Each structure stands twice: as structure tokens, then as C-alpha cells.
Structure 1
């Protein structure tokens, strides 16, 4: 399975979505087309599985980062989440545009919604346990941060960034997240 997934990503990167077919994938994976069809009945099922794996990797990244930063300050948490998510996305930046085309063609809304829910829960839990954070509505804040990640970062990834540009993108997103969280903390102080 891993060889088939990797081959699919390689063919997607080298040949593009329009030229991607099961014969090319099987050849690249070193398996017969029949073997590929034992796991996936058609190209769409394979692409759906690749999309599912990609989205699960993103949610896993957010969850692990949040779990590893429980009790941290909100500024530390913001920096850690941005860095981890951006690194995960940039690791597959060359195929990111194709993955988004796959998502729209296959109607992967439920997969995307599930990933966003997982990420939101992880961020909400981490914010609730932040050493210096008290927020009126951590769920809404987590939803906003998750939407910013999943909505903003793909724009960076649709073109492969140089290392300097990637570093600057990380810096800008971290500023955005930290500023938002600090503003939300001030909102509580103003309410009191």
C-alpha cells in the first residue's frame, strides 16, 4: 500500500493529474495493475485514499504538536502549531495543487471537514490548558485559527517557496496567530 501511495504521489508530481493513470502508478510502484486493483477498484478510489492519507497526516501533525505543547504559553503554542503545520504542508508543496484539485473533483468535503474538526479539537484543548491563556470561547478561537491554517497555508503551497520565503511565511503566520490570541486575551481583561 505504501509503495502504491508513494508511486501515486510521484506520478502526480511528475506527470500531473490529467496524465495520471493506474498503469503508470502500478509501473512506478513495481506492482501489476491487477495488484493495484486488488486494493483500489478504480483511479478515483486510489486518489480518495491518497487524499485521506494526506489530510490525516495534517490532522496528526496538529494533534501531536498540541499534545506536545499542553501547558505552554499561547505564544509558544501559536509558534509551534504554525511551524508544524507549515512544515507538513511544505513537505508536499509540489503536489499540493493537485491534491486540492483531487479534493474538488472527488467531493472530499467530509474528509476535509473531519480533518478540520480534529485540528480544531486539538487546538481548543491546547488553548484551554495554556499556562497564560484564558479565553471566553476557546472553541470559536480554535475554529478561527484552524480556518486560518487550512485557508491561508495552501496559498503558500500552490507555488513552491524558497527556504527564505518559507521562513518568512512562517514568521508572518506566527505573528498573525500570536496577535490574534493576545487580542482575545485582552478581550477577557476588558470584559472584567
Structure 2
């Protein structure tokens, strides 16, 4: 029985010069535009190249196929999301633990709300490409940042900040997937943020701490 060849997901090369970086940025932006306009099934490298204003040959210099292009777009999106979360955690070091968690919830939901349509589209890309390793890497970054932040809380030391961070981010990530990355409409106004903040702050308040 023949097996299907494994699809190459890694890029052919990375941009090293400013001009190349601009070209790749244009390709990424065009990919998102085509993805939102047509969906992943009808997206192809020709449409992306036309939208980006480059030749298909230029696109293939960086990405050997549609799958590697989508994989790179997903990776960039997750990196940007985690960069914002890490920055929020860094900015709130040394504060009260419950305020720290409120800031993390706000930062994460803000990014998702800004790019809700893209989040939904890329959610299906994760499934299509089986990109669980990318998602796991992003989750690890989030948990590490939250744990490091909690370890500096000025109102008591947590016995296991890593375990607490894991539960907190699981709550945030799960809620976001329910309301922002599926077809379910979010609750009116800021209710998602308020309810999620209440839940996470209550959990952190009840977690074991040594004054």
C-alpha cells in the first residue's frame, strides 16, 4: 500500500534583506486577505501572489506550496499573540496577583477582538494542517509568562505558580475558542471579559499562597 508523501511545511528560505522582508510581509498580508475572502479550500498560491503584487515564482522562492504558506502565516500570528501576552505580563510584574490576572485577560481578549475573523479562519487552519505543535509552543510561552509574573506578586507567594498559570490560561484559551474562534456570537458588550476575569481572579484568590 502506497503512502502519501509528507507535505513540506517549512519555508524554502527566510528573508535576510529589507526588500525580501517587505515582500514576505506583503505575501502574508495577501494570504490573510484571500483566506478571509475565499476560505482555505479556494485559496491558492496564484491568488495570493496576484493580491500581493508578486509573481508566483517569487512566492515559491519562499514557500514551496500552499500548506507551507498557511503554516507560516499561522506561526506568525501565534508569535504576535504571544508577544502581546508576554508584554502584558512583563508590565504587570510586582503588582497584586488578582490585578495581574485581570490585565492578562484584557490583553488576550483585546488581540482576539481586534482580529476575530482572522482568529476564526486560522482556527480551521490548525485543524487542516494538524499544527498542534505550533499551538503547544504558544501555550507553553503563555504559561511560562503568566507563571513568571505571578512569582513576583506583592501580596503573597504562590506554592506552584506554574500549575496556577496552566489553569488560568486553559480557562482563557478555552473561553476564547468558544466565543471568538467559532461561529457562536460573544455575549453582549464586555460580558465575556467581565465573566472570564471574575472566574480567573476568583481562582487565583483561592489558590494557595504564603503571605
Same fold (TM over 0.5): yes
Do 2:178 and 2:184's aligned partners in 1 also have CA atoms closer than 8 Å? no
Query: Which structure would you say has the larger Rg?
Result: 2
**Secondary structure of residue in 2 paired with 1:94:** helix
**Secondary structure of residue in 1 paired with 2:197:** helix
84, 105, 129: which is aligned to 2:128? 105
Q: Runs of 5+ in structure 2 lacking a partner?
A: 1-23
Question: How far has the Cα of 1:95 moved from its partner?
Answer: 2.2
Which residue is 1:169 aligned to? 192
CA displacement 1:28-81 (0-9 Å, x = unmatched): 111111111111000000000011011111211111000000001112111110
Ranges of 4+ aligned residues in structure 1 off by more than 6 Å: none
User: Which of the pair is proportionally richer in helix?
Assistant: 1
Structure 1, 2-11 or 96-105: larger mean CA deviation? 96-105
Cα separation, 2, equivalents of 1:87 and 1:57: 13
Q: Does 1:32 align with 2:55?
A: yes
- Superposed, 1:17-166 pairs within 5 Å as 17-157=40-180, 158-159=182-183, 165=188
20, 32, 37: which is aligned to 1:9? 32
**Secondary structure of residue in 2 paired with 1:165:** coil
Cα separation, 2, equivalents of 1:14 and 1:40: 21
Q: Runs of 5+ in structure 1 lacking a partner?
A: none
> Could you state the TM-score of these two structures normalised by the residue count of structure 2?
0.83
RMSD: 1.8
> Could you state the TM-score of these two structures normalised by the residue count of structure 1?
0.91
